[in-house]
Structure 1
Amino acid sequence: MGSVGLLYVGAVLFVNALMLLGRVEAKSAAVLNLFVGAMQVVLPTLLLAQAGTDVKSISAAAGVYLFGFTYLYVGIGTLANLDTTGVGWFSLFVSISAIVFAGVNFFDVKDYPFGVIWLSWSFLWFLFFLLLGLKRAELTVYTGWVTLANAWGSVTLPAFLLLTDNYTTSGTFAVILAVCAVVICAGLWPLTRPGRPGSAAPGPSTEPVTGA
């Protein structure tokens, strides 16, 4: 079930990235957030119902809830025209929690690539905190591009590797993911920094209504 959920998280991050970049209208993106958010709450609930006392299964479900609640929060908040500070500060909680889950993957589960992926998610959700919680609107374009990179690199790619039984927990794959993540996130900043020509978000809405 986890690989299926990852695939659709990739879809919602892709649409939200395009929303932040002004290519998708916010309320239109909110609908997909509701669909994926509901799925990311139902699936871990089913997992918990079957987990019993299996700590690893319970931990996995807890991690999925963080994102399911984010997408529901974003979808409902956008459609109801709510202020973004609530989802922004919740994103900070998710960002900190993701660091803990990264440690679990590195030192307990020994799934090194997903340790790196959790750190990538932590950084992305921290950007959502800055953008939505602290109203750092000048980070809209940078956050949009980092969201787009995560949609494909940290979510969709692992999902397809898992679905095709080609995923590996090797340290080598983890190093490759880490290097790519650092290079992309660092490289995007000078290209999207405030004041650079073309760094303003184009399109129908530049208000950072959602991004998770």
Structure 2
Amino acid sequence: MTGVGLFYVGAVLVVNGLMLLGRITPQGAAPLNYFVGGLQVLTPTVVIVQSGGDAAVVFGASGLYLFGFTYLWVAINANAGWDGAGLGWFSLFVAVAAIGYAWHAFAVEADPAFGVIWGLWAVLWFLFFLLLGLDLGSLAPAVGVVALVEGLLTAAVPAFLIMAQRWPTGVAPAIVIGVIGAATVVAAIPLGRLLAAPAPAISPQAAAAAVT
């Protein structure tokens, strides 16, 4: 994944995290999901077409579709009003695939930092599966926290450093990213309660109508 593409993945994860925290409506988040989803489908297609069959290039581009399809699906669901079950089960597929890409980053690319990043993406997409595939709506604020933090930790900040040619891949950044990511997952439920948008006040008339 190029630094430019990764940077906008960070942006859409932050926006989707805010959506799950109730700070943005699904319709309000849809345009960026369309933009980034389209980018993450078009870019690997062009790369693969121009790769000349180079297996390493094709493999490197292949993972982008996992995210492009996710963001396009989020946008379509928001506009069409479809339920999220299909996206949830696709997210389980993404989570399992991300484990494979994490292994490849560690074992083949010798890039432990991106190995950890892929691992954290596997965790996030598994949370999307719990939220949407298993309809555990109470997890929405917690998943929103994880998405927001990972948008910065695993995408926007690394992408900026990559574009600035200051990305220090190695064991040390892998440990830092892993510790922050794990701490976020552990603290996600209380942080979600703290950061979620307050429920709208119910008027006396609406309350009376609800009990009659």
Q: Distance in 2 between matches of 1:5 and 1:200?
A: 28
Could you say what secondary structure the match of 1:28 adopts? helix
Quote the residue 1:25 is aligned against.
25
What's the CA shift string for 1:33-82, capped at 9, x where partnerless? 01110000011111101212322211111100100011111111210011
Quote the residue 1:124 is aligned against.
124
1:147 is aligned to 2:143: no
Quote the residue 2:198 is aligned against.
202
Q: Quote how far apart the aligned CAs of 1:200 are.
A: 6.2
Provide TM-score, normalisation by structure 2: 0.89
Q: Quote how far apart the aligned CAs of 1:190 are.
A: 4.2
Quote the residue 2:137 is aligned against.
137
Q: Distance in 1 between matches of 2:18 and 2:134?
A: 21
Aligned-partner residue type, residue 187 of structure 1: A
Could you say what secondary structure the match of 1:166 adopts? coil
> Which stretch of the first structure deviates more once superposed, 158-167 or 1-10?
1-10
Contact 1:116 1:178 in 2 (8 A): yes
Quote the residue 1:209 is aligned against.
none
Contact 1:110 1:169 in 2 (8 A): no
Query: Over aligned residue pairs, what C-alpha RMSD do you find?
Result: 1.7
1:45 is aligned to 2:45: yes
Change (3 A) 1:155 1:199: closer
Provide TM-score, normalisation by structure 1: 0.89
- Unaligned runs of at least 5 residues, structure 1: 205-212
Q: Distance in 2 between matches of 1:174 and 1:200?
A: 29
Q: Quote how far apart the aligned CAs of 1:168 are.
A: 2.3
Aligned-partner residue type, residue 202 of structure 1: P
Q: Which has the higher contact order (CA 8 A, sep 6+)?
A: 1
What's the CA shift string for 1:86-114, capped at 9, x where partnerless? 10000000000000000000000111100
Quote the residue 2:88 is aligned against.
88
1:62-81 equivalences in 2 (<5 Å): 62-81=62-81
Aligned residues: 200
Contact 1:21 1:203 in 2 (8 A): no
Quote the residue 1:56 is aligned against.
56
Identical-residue share of aligned pairs (%) = 47
What's the CA shift string for 1:89-145, capped at 9, x where partnerless? 000000000000000000001111000000000000000000011110110110010
Q: Distance in 2 between matches of 1:203 and 1:105?
A: 42
1:108 is aligned to 2:104: no
> Which stretch of the first structure deviates more once superposed, 54-63 or 96-105?
54-63
Q: Quote how far apart the aligned CAs of 1:163 are.
A: 0.5
Contact 1:23 1:202 in 2 (8 A): no
What's the CA shift string for 1:169-194, capped at 9, x where partnerless? 211211121112112221233444xx
Q: Distance in 2 between matches of 1:179 and 1:199?
A: 21
Q: Distance in 2 between matches of 1:168 and 1:199?
A: 32
